[in-house]
Amino acid sequence: MKKLYRYETTVGHFIENMSYGIFRPHGRDDYLVILTLDGLGQIGVGDDFRMLGKGEAILYHPNCPQSYQTSPDVGHWEFFWSHFHPSSQMHPFLDWPELAPGLGYLKLPEDQYLEAIQQDFEAARLALWRPLKQRESLAMNRLEAAFIQFDIANPNNARTTTDRRILKAMEWAYAHLGEAPSIQEIAKAAGLSVSHLGALFRKETGSSVTTFIEEERMRRAREMLEFSQKPIGEIALEIGYQDPFYFSNRFRLHHQISPRAYRSQRIG
């Protein structure tokens, strides 16, 4: 008899009433993530319970006791879930703050992250329905994308900020980089005064707003110099420098080489 392939990844979307509840005293040998979309869940934490509302997620590590159910206070619970064995490159994104040993917890700072993660979960779920031998790889690819989004909200991650106002400022600056955004415009987009933006930005990132913008401009310049054939003057305009000579001077200051020489080195 032909041996059936055992799929290691499962992804689901449940809307459950008060009768729903799971108790696994010894957990499982894989990871389990649960993300609440609506209603209210209730999870066991030691001898107590913790409510799980919209935008809140939990991550059970292997062999961690699992106890979760629909909260009787609301009577319905909508959530995405996935059991999975992570790839090696996924492990850095699994270091969540703990509610208990082996039980991680995150709260997403804004609905936009929830929407992006929902899309990734749904794409992973649908990938497992496709009659392809690569379907589990496709699903894990989208799950990894979801965990990268979770990582943005992770306070254990010292590489980024979790203050939603600074995230909004950074995202607005990214989207308007070619327009040479002013500090005043970025502060307005974040809902902060210029002085408050400057102080909070430095506290959260260790850098000034102007330094952040110029570093992002240089990153994009390097990409275009290496991977496109655009003239240097056009690259300068795309990243917010009206004067290509000024751009060349700034590039040389950062990299100790001119944009033209950098391109020549990188493409051979």
pLDDT at residue 4 is higher than 50:
no
pLDDT of residue 186: 95
CB 35 within 8 A of CB 117: yes
pLDDT at residue 6 is higher than 80:
no
Query: pLDDT category, 160, cuts 50, 70, 90?
Result: low
pLDDT of residue 161: 57
pLDDT in tens, 247-263: 999 999 999 999 999 99
Return the number of other C-beta atoms located less than 10 Å from residue 195's C-beta: 10
Is residue 113 domain-shared with residue 239, that is, in the same domain? Answer: no
CB 106 within 8 A of CB 154: yes
What value does the mean pLDDT of the chain take? 89
Cα gap 11→178, rounded to integer Å: 40
pLDDT at residue 193 is higher than 60:
yes
pLDDT of residue 162: 58
* Token representation of residue 144: 């990894």
Instruction: State the pTM of this model.
Output: 0.66
The answer to whether residue 227 is domain-embedded is yes
Is residue 32 domain-shared with residue 82, that is, in the same domain? Answer: yes
Distance of CA 223 to the CA centre of its chain: 22
Question: Closest by alpha carbon to 117, among 87, 80, 74?
Answer: 80
Cα gap 136→87, rounded to integer Å: 12
The answer to whether residue 90 is domain-embedded is yes
The boundaries of the domain holding residue 54 are 10-152
Cα gap 154→146, rounded to integer Å: 13
Is residue 52 domain-shared with residue 82, that is, in the same domain? Answer: yes
CATH number for the domain harbouring residue 143: 2.60.120.280
What is the gyration radius of the CA atoms in the chain, in angstroms? 23
Total number of domains in the chain? 2
Query: pLDDT category, 267, cuts 50, 70, 90?
Result: confident
The answer to whether residue 158 is domain-embedded is no
The answer to whether residue 1 is domain-embedded is no
The helix (H) or strand (E) run that includes residue 40 is none
pLDDT in tens, 53-80: 999 999 999 999 999 999 999 999 999 9
The answer to whether residue 157 is domain-embedded is no
pLDDT at residue 242 is higher than 90:
yes
Is residue 139 domain-shared with residue 197, that is, in the same domain? Answer: no
Query: pLDDT category, 28, cuts 50, 70, 90?
Result: very high
Site of tokens 């917890």: 105
